[in-house]
Amino acid sequence: MALQHKPTAPHHSAQDALRVLETVARHTSGVTGTDLARDSGIARERLLPLLRMLRREGYVEQTADGAYVTGDVLARLGSAHDREAALRERLQRTLD
């Protein structure tokens, strides 16, 4: 069951960018701009500037065949949980 996204002013841009990232992350082998527009529900004229910004910031990358995949910056954000778990484990060993 897909989440229902309802824009909340003045956060439309942030919500759209997050929806794009969620959609790209679901397509692990990459997603075309056309499929991204369809799956995210964001019109292409709004989607293309978002994709340019997300590429520039390193959140998404574009492959040689034009598909979009998650970028290094998004991967680093996702690995924060692993760092926290490692820190807790190290702290517990010290306490033990």
Any idea what the CATH number is for the domain that residue 39 is in? Answer: 1.10.10.10
**Does 5 reside within a domain?**
no
Rg (CA), the chain: 17
Q: Is 18 helix (H, G, I), strand (E, B) or coil?
A: helix
Residue 66 or 12, more confident: 66
**Does 28 reside within a domain?**
yes
Look at residue 54 and tell me whether its pLDDT is greater than 90: yes
Q: Is 42 helix (H, G, I), strand (E, B) or coil?
A: coil
**Does 7 reside within a domain?**
no
**Does 67 reside within a domain?**
yes
Number of domains in the chain: 1
**Does 37 reside within a domain?**
yes
Give 65-95 pLDDT, tens digit per residue: 999 999 988 887 766 666 666 667 777 777 7
Q: Which domain holds residue 37?
A: 18-95
Q: For the full predicted model, state whether its pTM sits above 0.75.
A: no
